[in-house]
Amino acid sequence: MMKKISLLLAVVLLLTAAPSIRAGASDFVPEGYTLDCQAAIVVNTDTGRVVFEKNADERRSIASMTKIMTAVVVLERCGDLRQAVTARQEPLSAVAGKGLSLSNLKAGETMSVENLLYCLLVYSAADAATVLADEIAGSVDAFVGMMNAKAAELGLKDTHFADPHGLSNLSDGNYSTAREMEKLCEYAMKNEVFAKIVATDRYTVPATNLSGERSLTSSNRLLLEGDPCRYDKAIGIKPGYTNDAGRCLAAAATDGSAAYISIVMGCKIWQSNGEAAVERFRDTVFLLENAFGEYSLTTVLSGSQAVTTVQVDGVDVPLVPRGDILWLLGKNETVSLQTALTQESVAGPVNRGDKLGECKILIDGTEIGSADLIAAEAVSGSVTEPEETGTPVPAKNETGAASAGRGNAIITVAVILAAALCAVAAVIIIKKKKRA
């Protein structure tokens, strides 16, 4: 069955060929660079088109990208971000001494949900994850159940969570795929609060009852001014790292005309000098620059331009789509159309907007969808004139004829009465003369 296209074509067309970075696109990514990641996907969020994928359906450990779902559940379950949360010892102990990023919350410390979310998403604090989980669900385990319920609601069949922070690995039941992580990110970024937090490079948490101010720096180096990994088009989202997951990164970017989300998983962990590897950031810039450079949103059908015509009572009526139809088109891709009319010739009347055909849209010969073709103007239809030889007169004219007949009868009666009166008058005059 052909998929319908409305104003934006939201049909996925998979491209698996490895991209090549444009010369001079980024000083951070050398020309001729090859990907380091084990799995990846890049999706244009304006249309849903996948412009690159690599092992995108392979289940993998997701490390701190887990916190994206943690934040989604908190934001949807908490009615007031100003709500004060008092940390309990149990959720803090669950992440202590495990080498995780921590905001160093203390038992009895009180912080707002909003500030805990900044700790969670900007600094990737695992203690913020467990404290929020405990507050929202009453226990970390109950909160994980909420995370999995949300995954099921979103149709993420290859995604499962075992904790709210991502320390658990694939073998522990904490995993997803590049494709499904992208879907989760796309969903999360629709929440304005989430999008604002993950776009934050630095944030100061006000002093609490047990601590002074906390200065947070984003773990997403794409956002950091002066960092060699900075990418000007980046607007979020979240890195992650464990030995099992490798270094991962979910990223969102826009150039003002198009927007993308990319996921890279299983990147190199350490450089030869012992410093943290930057390949996840380099892979991300590589993939996103290729997408912005090679693809653009293009009007493949215009709502004001006729695709074809159809005969209506001998008149050529132009057919147009219901509106402008955009598609993310590659530089070397070509568009072709195949039209089909409901009938070659149509009897009127036809209203403007009536569907009279359909148009298949093909990119390089591959059908990506179809659009209804509607009449751009109305045709009233032909009018049949009455024949002179015994053709019945329309009912409204019969009423007129009957009225005319009644009028003639009234005139005849009036004439007779007038004549009679005249006769009577004449008799009276004659009689008067005789008396005289």
DSSP state of 177: -
Q: What residues act catalytically?
A: 64, 67, 124
Residue 378 near residue 371, CB atoms below 8 Å = no
The residue among 87, 296, 125 whose CA lies nearest residue 208 is 87
Two tokens, residue 419: 């004549």
C-alpha 255, offset from chain centre: 18
Residues 98, 99, 103: CA angle, nearest 5 degrees: 100
Q: Report how far residue 313's alpha carbon sits from residue 346's, in angstroms, rounded to the nearest whole number.
A: 7
CA terminus-to-terminus distance, the chain: 111
The residue among 14, 4, 25 whose CA lies nearest residue 48 is 14
Q: Report how far residue 160's alpha carbon sits from residue 174's, in angstroms, rounded to the nearest whole number.
A: 5
Q: Report how far residue 254's alpha carbon sits from residue 397's, in angstroms, rounded to the nearest whole number.
A: 69
Residues 407, 409, 413: CA angle, nearest 5 degrees: 120
B/e letters for 270-290, b = 16+ CB within 10 Å, e = fewer, are eeeeeeebbbbbbbbbbbbbb
Where would I find the H helices in 49-121?
66-77, 89-93, 113-121
Q: Report how far residue 230's alpha carbon sits from residue 227's, in angstroms, rounded to the nearest whole number.
A: 5
Two tokens, residue 77: 């379950």
Scanning the structure block, which residue is given the tokens 């209804």? 372
Q: Which phi and psi (to 5°) does residue 300 adopt?
A: -90, -20
DSSP state of 12: -
The residue among 124, 196, 198 whose CA lies nearest residue 164 is 124
